[in-house]
Amino acid sequence: MSSPFRTIPSVEAVLNALRKKGSWPHSFALEAARTAITKARKSVKEGAGAPDLATISTEAETILNALATPSLRRVVNATGVILQTNLGRAPLSERAMSAIAEASRDYTNLEFDLNEGERGSRHEHVRNLLRHTTGAPDGLAVNNNAAALFMALHVFAQGREVIVSRGEAVEIGGGFRIPDVLQESGARLVEVGTTNRTYVEDYANAISEETAAILRVHRSNFQVTGFTTQPDMRELSTLARAHNTLLLDDLGSGCLVETSEYGVEHEPTVRESLSSGAHLTLFSGDKLLGGPQCGLIVGSVELIETLRKHPLSRALRIDKLTIAALNATLMAYVEGTEREEIPFWHMLALEQKALEPRAQAWAKAAGKRGRVIESHTMIGGGAAPGAGRKTWCTALQADQGAEWLTGALRKAAPPILTRVEANETLLDPRTVAESDDEHVMLTIESLLGSSSRSSGTS
């Protein structure tokens, strides 16, 4: 009796079948054919019959189409988390996207001084705008805030001690831990105080001849409540200056405006950090700033210049596209148009009442399987922990369950990402561009809208 494995088509046979269906890169087609055949062999090994050439070539075509589809895709963020780290955090403004397009399409004066006609520095493109937006004497941009912290510690504290409160020796996300960064930078961590209570005297008692810096890490992605104490920046500044020690402030979220004007709790700003005495303040460009991924360091001219001249500044530098987007984003703050221009602030500023009609329209598309509920939009992205605004969400129920529905919405083009609460799939219009409303509504209707349109909302 012939083995069923012998009837499985060869790679060449599958490739020939694929060539009749379309034209793809050979390496993609070869991988798809081999993968489909491997899958068929596994199926036969488990007791199934051997699939024919048509079946295997159809499977290979599915694999091939997946290979040929860009892995980085646009998605619709209906999760209700504005700065969704997994979704790339802050969407850029129209001005920033136009700046990127221009910088990518043409040659630029990235490292050329147009006035002097000689080589220039890419760092000059961001220095002036950082000064105007933060009030700092000088500023530098690197590729992310983790790099900014690593660089500052490596340059100014290598082989020496850095004092950090135990309540701030945290893991920020993705396994990024402050103690690990200190170790890799060559600095030695000295923890003081307790998880919930640290006093300025704790820092003072830890200072020695080996102390290079005091590091304050803003708790930007979690809260400690109840019986808590921590010194303010002015107290730490007075202590640091009395002992000729650097004071580094890792703000993380990088806020430049007063968040209470947007209906959320006050978030420390970069200007406040500097005016309270930080020698260097470090923050992200793609969180509350609303710009591209980068890490920003502002403060003393002498310290920034030391960083700028260090070899790490080349290893961690940003490219021309990031510079273009960052400058466009910072200009919105200089001109005072961030609420209108920068998507993060525009979304946060939306009033709850303006969101209800959109949520109602989506719920109506689901018929009896949709309703509108009051909920909260969260800031997210490791910024302003617990902060958010009231919103209206569309809550959907499917006979197949919430897991099925969220998966089906993810298969839309573009994918619609949601969250699940109490076995309902929730969609928050605050984090969805109005231009995507029709796509959301039609997708919901295609999945759930076959039932009666009567009173699907509450």
Per-residue pLDDT band for 401 (boundaries 50, 70, 90) equals very high
pLDDT at 317 over 90: yes
* Whole-angstrom distance, CA of residue 412 vs CA of residue 417: 10
Average pLDDT of the chain, as a whole number: 91
User: Residues of 10-19 as b/e, b for ≥16 C-beta within 10 angstroms?
Assistant: eeeebbebbe
What's the pLDDT score for residue 69?
A: 87
Show the 3-state SS of 102-121.
HHHHCCCCCCEECCCCEECC
Say which DSSP state 61 is in. H
SS3 369: helix
For 139-169, write each residue's pLDDT tens digit: 999 999 999 999 999 999 999 999 999 888 7
Could you say which DSSP state residue 93 is in? P
Q: What is the pLDDT at residue 457?
A: 41
- What's the pLDDT score for residue 358? 98
pLDDT recorded at residue 172? 63
Q: What does the pLDDT look like over 255-313, one tens digit per residue?
A: 999 999 998 888 999 999 999 999 999 999 999 999 999 999 999 999 999 999 999 99
Positive/negative CA dihedral, 99, 105, 107, 110:
positive
* Neighbouring C-alpha atoms within 13 Å toward the C-beta of 145: 31
Q: What are phi and psi of 388, to 5 degrees?
A: -175, 180
Q: With contact defined as beta carbons under 8 Å apart, do 292 and 286 qualify?
A: yes
**Whether the model pTM is above 0.85:** yes
**pLDDT tops 70 at residue 385:** no
- Domain positions in the chain: 4-68, 76-84+349-448, 92-341
Task: Tell me the mean pLDDT in the region 354-362.
Answer: 97
DSSP readout, 3-38?
A: -GGGGSPPHHHHHHHHHHH----HHHHHHHHHHHHH
More confidently predicted of 50 and 444: 444
CATH number of 76-84+349-448: 3.90.1150.180
Q: How does pLDDT run across 46-68, given as a tens digit for each residue?
A: 888 888 999 999 999 999 988 98
Query: Could you tell me the fold of the domain covering 92-341?
Result: Aspartate Aminotransferase; domain 2 (3.40.640)
The residue among 392, 391, 423 whose CA lies nearest residue 406 is 423
Look up residue 401 and give its amino acid.
G
Provide the pairing of β-strand 280-284 with 246-252.
parallel
pLDDT (0 to 100) of residue 458: 38
Instruction: Say if residue 222's pLDDT is above 60.
Output: no
Phi, psi of 141 (to 5 degrees): -120, 135
pLDDT at residue 451 above 70?
no
Cα(432)–Cα(76) distance, integer angstroms: 6
Tell me if domain 76-84+349-448 and domain 92-341 are identical in fold.
no
pLDDT score at 3: 79
pLDDT value of residue 174: 59
Work out the average pLDDT over 180-192. 90
